[in-house]
Amino acid sequence: MRGAICLALVLAAGALVGGCYPEPTTLNLRFPTENSFLYADEAQVVRFNVRESELGICPSLVSQVNEGAGDREAIEDRTVSVCSLRDGGLEFEDIGDGKRAFVVVVRDQFSTALLTGCIITDTYVDAPEIALALALTEDYTDALERIGELQCTDIDEKCSRGC
C-alpha cells in the first residue's frame, strides 16, 4: 500500500512538472502563391542571435544562408521538406529570450533558391507564432521553366503523392 501511494505521488509530481514546460515557438512560412509551394522541395531554416543594433541585418543573413558562406555563426540550421511545413509550421523548443533572426531559403529539386525570407523578432516563453512571408528570388522564373510543368495540381496532391 505504501509503495502504491509513493508511486502515485511520483506520477502526480511528474505530471505537474511536465505540464510546466513552455510551449514551443512556431515559425509559420507564408508562401506567396500555391504554385511557389508546388515547385518547392525543401526549406533551409537558420536561426541567429542578433543585437538591437543589428535590426537591418536581414539582407546580409539571407545572402550568407543562400550562398552557404559567411562569418556569422548560426544557433540552429535545419533543412526540412516543404510538405512538413504545411500543417502548423516548424517548432523550436526552448528558444530562450532575446532577439532572433530567422532566415529561410526554399529550394527546388535542383537546389536552386526559389524563395527567401527573413524576420527579426523578440522571442520569449510562450511567445505567439512567428509568421514569415517568403519572397520570390531572381532565379524563380528560370527555375520554373527548367523544371517544366508539374504533375501535381494542388498542395494535397503534391504532399500525398510526392510529385
Bin 147: left if φ > 0, else alpha if -120 < ψ < 50, else beta: alpha
Per-residue pLDDT of the chain (163 residues; tens, 9 = 90+): 444 444 443 344 444 444 556 678 899 999 999 999 999 999 999 999 999 999 899 999 999 999 988 888 999 999 999 999 887 789 888 788 899 999 999 999 999 999 999 999 998 877 889 999 999 999 999 999 999 998 888 999 999 887 7
Query: Who contacts 51 (Cβ-Cβ below 8 Å, separation ≥6)?
Result: 99
What predicted TM-score, i.e. pTM, was given to this entire model? 0.83
Burial of residue 53, with CB atoms counted within 10 A of its CB: 0-12 exposed, 13-18 middle, 19 or more buried: exposed
